[in-house]
Amino acid sequence: MAKMTMVQALNLALQQEMEKDDSVIVLGEDVGVDGGVFRVTDGLIDRFGAERVLDTPLAENGIVGMSIGMAIYGLKPVCEIQFSGFSYQNFHQIENHAARLRWRSRGRYHVPMVLRTPYGGGVRALEHHSESREAYWAHMPGMKTVIPSGPRNARGLLVSAMRDPDPVIFYESKALYRAFREEVPEEEETVPIGQPRIVREGKDLTMIAYGAMMRPTLAAAATLKDKIGAEAEVIDLLTVSPLDDELFVTSVLKTGRALIVHEAPRSFGPGAEIATRLMEKAFYYLEAPIERVTGYDIIIPLFSREKAYFPNEQRILRAARKALRN
C-alpha cells in the first residue's frame, strides 16, 4: 500500500476506472491541460487523450447538460465543477433532467454520471468557494449524495459512484485534499454507497459526522476518553442520501445519547433529518436531548473569521459533556 493524500487517491480511482472502462469520460473547466483546479485530474489527459479528458468552457450548465446527454447514450461522464458554489448554475439540468429521467422514462433511460465538486471551507477561499450545501442535493429524489472523509474511502466511493447506474453528487472537502496521508491499496477497492461505518466503538454516546467534520469529532471522542473516561461511538455517514439510518439508530439504542456534527448551516441541515430519524425509531431509548454542533445560519465569513464558523473540537466537547450530564 502507498500512503496518499485525498487528491492522489481520487486521481488513482479515475485513472484505474478509465483504464478498465472506455466509456468513462472526464470533463470540466481546466481538468485536462491544467489537471483540475486542485490537480485531482492531473496527468489524465496525457494518458487518455483529449477525446476522453475534455477541457470545457466556463459554463457549468453546459458541462452538466453535456454530461447528461453523454450518459443517456451510454457513456459514463465524470464532470468536475470547480467549486460547489458554482453548481447552482447547473441546478436546472440536475433537478429537471438527471434526477428525473429514470422515473420520467419508466426505467427506459438512466443517467450514470458523477458530478465531482469541492465543498466547504478551511482553505481561506471566498464565499462562493466555501459553502456546504449538501442538503440541496440530498433533498432531491433520484440523486445520491456522497461525502468521503479520507483518502481511502474517497477512492473507494468514487469507484462505486462511477459504476452506479444513477447520478451521484460527489462532494470533496477542500480542507481534506492534502490534510493527511493514508494507506491506499493499489489493487481495486470499492466502498458501497449508502452504508455508514463505525470508526470508533463506544457505549456512552453516539457521535455522527461526515466529511471534514470527522477529524474534530474523532479528536473530541479521544479527549472524552482521556479526560472523563466516557466512551463515544463515532459513525462516519459517508453517504448523506440515501440515508441509511439502521447503524446510527442501533448505536443510539445502545448508548442512549446522540450528538450530530456537520459543517453545513444548522437550520434544515442534514442533522435535522438524522435527529428526526432517531426520534422516530429510538425515542424511548434516549436518555438526553439530541445535540447538534453545526455551522451557523449565516453566509460563511471571509477567511479572517472563517475558523469561528466551523465546528471544532471544543464546541463538540461542550455538546458531548452536556449530553452526558443529562
Catalytic residues: 129
R_g over Cα of the chain:
20
Q: Which spans in the chain are helix H?
A: 6-20, 44-48, 60-72, 91-93, 101-104, 134-138, 151-163, 214-228, 246-255, 270-282, 306-309, 313-325
- Alpha carbons within 13 angstroms on the beta-carbon side of residue 122 total 23
Buried b / exposed e over 253-287, threshold 16 CB at 10 Å, is eebbbbbbbbbbbeeebbbebbbebbeebbeeebe
d(CA 172, CA 316): 22
Of 46, 54, 59, the residue nearest 92 (C-alpha): 59
Could you tell me the three cell numbers for 267? Answer: 437550520
φ, ψ dihedrals at 115, nearest 5°: -110, 105
d(CA 201, CA 98): 38
- The most distant pair of C-alpha atoms in the chain lies apart, rounded to whole Å, by 60
N residues, the chain: 326
φ, ψ dihedrals at 80, nearest 5°: -110, 125
